[in-house]
């Protein structure tokens, strides 16, 4: 069937409000957030029910038409961008944004995949509950994208990755069948946990249409500490102390270097150096509890006092107001945007055993400098999860296309070192198109073989998000 006949069959079955076929209207859907990839598609389909998703996929399966699931398009690996085949269908869940139920006894929230994450967090807060998944893109990304990338974010140190927040899933499989796994059970040991295969699958095993998520008690009392550290080793000891003393109250432990602050201050208005002196690194710690700000504050001040005394940090400030909380967080959250504004750069979202972060940073730093004088290492991330964004910006004055020549070599330096320390080449962003080559280079061949077999079992005709992961 040619493209126009196939698009017509989509229109006939799903109606004009759900199917876009005009090239000018399709154009905005063809590239990724970072502008690294551009593909083609014959149609964008925007169903508003699970049955319509199933109808769309069944049509695609019969005609062997590739389907590219799309959430908020904030993914950083090109996973939601089609390849250059002209027959691709982009399947957007943006019209499926209902919250189906909230249960404050079972502490669950059931929502459709097109819900914006920030809206879900606010809906949970309205009933005095916390949906802990939180990331800087939360007012654009969608639940389906979060599940499909197994997103991390700033609260993983306390609540785990997205995978750990999911109790049940509803999805449409690559043959159009509906997977009815939308349970809210806390315990269910009946064979393989199939939903876990769909989580983190980047749209290669089916389209997630809804999920049941765990809710937690709302932590309205928050205290933030910004600590200056002389080295990653100091940050590590500070992390150990905080973990021992504050237990589960620690819900973020973020790290960034002085170079990150310099870049943020150069690109952003309204922020300033956090301490009188510039320090090699900074740690942002968030502690939260349900009740009693005074005792949380006393605990934090005691621990930080001890940290200063034991020289586990060089300086520290404890937030006194909401405004301070916000500006401390902005220093961390503006880093990605500042680096984007600075120009083309290389992102490496990697993870390591937490205790080896200092040694890793020292040795990879040396390797990079040896390879390329003047390269700017913009290192930040979710330190408490062992997750670093080991990003590189071009030397000052270097041309904008600097990484076209040097990028692959520098990335290999970083990733080789990650593997040497027993880490992972993708901590929370996934593989998409960006890391496909590195995935096949660094992942254990047995893992890849099993993944290929699983993919074939779900999707024998290879229609789901082709060219992603492997």
Ligand X SMILES: Cc1cc2nc3c(=O)[nH]c(=O)nc-3n(C[C@H](O)[C@H](O)[C@H](O)COP(=O)(O)OP(=O)(O)OC[C@H]3O[C@@H](n4cnc5c(N)ncnc54)[C@H](O)[C@@H]3O)c2cc1C
For residue 465, the number of C-alpha atoms closer than 13 Å in the C-beta half-sphere is 26
Identified binder of ligand X from the candidate list 145, 174, 232, 281, rule CB under 6 A:
145
Give me the least distance between CB of 289 and ligand X, in Å please: 23
Q: What are the angstrom distances between the C-alpha of 132 and each of 77, 391, 399?
A: 23, 26, 41
Give me the least distance between CB of 136 and ligand X, in Å please: 4
Q: Which residue is nearest to ligand X (CB)?
A: 145
**What are the start-end ranges of the H helices in 343-435?**
357-371, 402-420
Give the number of residues written for the chain.
470
14 binds ligand X (CB under 6 A): no
CB-wise, 44 or 299, nearer to ligand X?
A: 44
Q: Of 118, 394, 354, 363, which is closest to residue 243 (Cα–Cα)?
A: 354
CB-wise, 57 or 303, nearer to ligand X?
A: 57
Identified binder of ligand X from the candidate list 7, 21, 74, 257, rule CB under 6 A:
74
Give me the least distance between CB of 361 and ligand X, in Å please: 19
Helix axes 402-420, 357-371, angle to 10 degrees: 150
Q: What are the angstrom distances between the C-alpha of 467 and each of 56, 68, 175, 196, 462?
A: 20, 10, 19, 21, 10
Q: How many residues bind ligand X (CB under 6 A)?
A: 37
Give me the least distance between CB of 87 and ligand X, in Å please: 17
Spatial CB neighbours of 298, under 8 Å, sequence gap ≥ 6? none
Structure tokens at 20: 């876009």
In 10 A of CB 12, how many CB atoms?
10
93 binds ligand X (CB under 6 A): yes
Give me the least distance between CB of 93 and ligand X, in Å please: 5
Spatial CB neighbours of 3, under 8 Å, sequence gap ≥ 6? 42, 86, 87
79 binds ligand X (CB under 6 A): yes
Contact pattern for ligand X over residues 31 through 50, marking x by CB under 6 A: --x-----------------
CB-wise, 70 or 249, nearer to ligand X?
A: 70
In 10 A of CB 105, how many CB atoms?
5
Give me the least distance between CB of 137 and ligand X, in Å please: 4
Question: What is the C-alpha to C-alpha distance for residues 348 and 114, in angstroms, rounded to an integer?
Answer: 28
Give the bridge partners for 390, in sequence order: 379
Q: Is 190 exposed, middle or buried (CB count within 10 Å of its CB: 0-12, 13-18, 19+)?
A: exposed
Give me the least distance between CB of 277 and ligand X, in Å please: 29
CB-wise, 61 or 141, nearer to ligand X?
A: 141
Question: What is the C-alpha to C-alpha distance for residues 344 and 401, in angstroms, rounded to an integer?
Answer: 8
Give the bridge partners for 391, in sequence order: 378
Spatial CB neighbours of 438, under 8 Å, sequence gap ≥ 6? 411, 415, 425
Identified binder of ligand X from the candidate list 112, 289, 413, 428, rule CB under 6 A:
428
CB-wise, 159 or 299, nearer to ligand X?
A: 159
Contact pattern for ligand X over residues 324 through 363, marking x by CB under 6 A: ------------x---------------------------
Give me the least distance between CB of 58 and ligand X, in Å please: 16
Question: What is the C-alpha to C-alpha distance for residues 98 and 117, in angstroms, rounded to an integer?
Answer: 12
210 binds ligand X (CB under 6 A): no
146 binds ligand X (CB under 6 A): yes
Give me the least distance between CB of 247 and ligand X, in Å please: 23
Identified binder of ligand X from the candidate list 71, 174, 281, 386, rule CB under 6 A:
71
Contact pattern for ligand X over residues 97 through 126, marking x by CB under 6 A: ----------------x-------------
Helix axes 3-14, 50-63, angle to 10 degrees: 160
CB-wise, 71 or 386, nearer to ligand X?
A: 71
296 binds ligand X (CB under 6 A): no
**What are the start-end ranges of the H helices in 247-356?**
258-267, 293-309, 322-333, 335-342
CB-wise, 78 or 232, nearer to ligand X?
A: 78
Identified binder of ligand X from the candidate list 55, 73, 107, 393, rule CB under 6 A:
73
135 binds ligand X (CB under 6 A): yes
CB-wise, 72 or 281, nearer to ligand X?
A: 72
Question: What is the C-alpha to C-alpha distance for residues 199 and 258, in angstroms, rounded to an integer?
Answer: 35
Q: Which stretch binds ligand X (CB under 6 A): 135-143, 299-307, 351-359, 399-407?
A: 135-143
Identified binder of ligand X from the candidate list 7, 55, 148, 391, rule CB under 6 A:
148
Q: Which stretch binds ligand X (CB under 6 A): 288-296, 304-312, 358-366, 427-435?
A: 427-435
Spatial CB neighbours of 326, under 8 Å, sequence gap ≥ 6? none
Binding site for ligand X (CB under 6 A): 33, 68-76, 79-80, 93, 113, 135-137, 141-142, 144-146, 148-149, 151-153, 202-203, 207-208, 336, 428-429, 432, 465, 468
């Amino acid at each position: 069937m040619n493209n126009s006949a196939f698009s017509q069959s989509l229109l006939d079955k799903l109606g004009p409000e759900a199917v876009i076929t005009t090239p000018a209207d399709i154009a905005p859907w063809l590239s990724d957030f970072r502008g690294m990839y551009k593909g083609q598609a014959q149609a964008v389909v925007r169903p508003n029910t699970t049955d319509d998703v199933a109808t769309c996929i069944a049509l695609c399966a019969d005609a062997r038409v590739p389907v590219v699931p799309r959430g908020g398009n904030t993914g950083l690996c090109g996973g939601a961008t089609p390849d250059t085949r002209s027959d691709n269908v982009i399947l957007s869940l943006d019209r499926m944004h209902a919250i189906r139920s909230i249960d404050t006894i079972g502490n669950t929230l059931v929502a459709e995949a097109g819900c914006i994450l920030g809206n879900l967090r606010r809906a949970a807060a309205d009933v005095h509950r916390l949906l802990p998944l939180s990331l800087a893109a939360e007012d654009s990304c969608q639940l389906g994208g979060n599940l499909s990338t197994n997103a991390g974010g700033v609260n993983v140190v306390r609540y785990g990755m997205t995978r750990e927040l999911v109790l049940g899933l509803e999805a449409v499989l690559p043959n159009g069948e509906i997977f009815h796994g939308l349970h809210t059970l806390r315990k269910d040991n009946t064979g393989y946990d199939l939903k876990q295969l769909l989580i983190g699958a980047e749209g290669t095993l089916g389209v997630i249409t809804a999920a049941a998520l765990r809710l937690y008690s709302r932590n309205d009392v928050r205290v933030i500490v910004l600590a200056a550290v002389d080295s990653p080793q100091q940050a590590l000891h500070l992390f150990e102390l905080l973990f021992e003393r504050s237990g589960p109250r620690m819900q973020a432990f973020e790290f960034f270097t002085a170079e990150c602050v310099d870049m943020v201050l150069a690109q952003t208005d309204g922020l300033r150096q956090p301490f009188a002196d510039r320090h090699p690194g900074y740690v942002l710690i968030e502690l939260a509890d349900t009740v009693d700000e005074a005792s949380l504050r006393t605990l934090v001040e005691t621990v930080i006092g001890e940290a200063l005394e034991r020289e586990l940090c060089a300086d520290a400030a404890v937030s006194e107001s909401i405004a301070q909380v916000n500006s401390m967080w902005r220093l961390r959250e503006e880093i990605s945007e500042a680096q984007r504004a600075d120009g083309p750069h290389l992102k490496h979202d990697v993870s390591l055993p937490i205790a080896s972060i200092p040694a890793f940073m020292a040795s990879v730093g040396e390797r990079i400098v040896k390879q390329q004088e003047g390269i700017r290492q913009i290192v930040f991330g979710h330190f408490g999860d062992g997750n670093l964004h080991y990003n590189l910006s071009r030397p000052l004055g270097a041309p904008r296309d600097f990484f076209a020549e040097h990028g692959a070599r520098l990335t290999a330096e970083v990733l080789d070192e990650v593997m040497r320390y027993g880490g992972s080449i993708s901590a929370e962003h996934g593989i998409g198109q960006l890391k496909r080559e590195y995935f096949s280079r660094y992942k254990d061949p047995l893992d890849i073989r099993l993944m290929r077999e699983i993919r074939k079992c779900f999707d024998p005709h290879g229609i789901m998000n082709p060219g992603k992961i492997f």
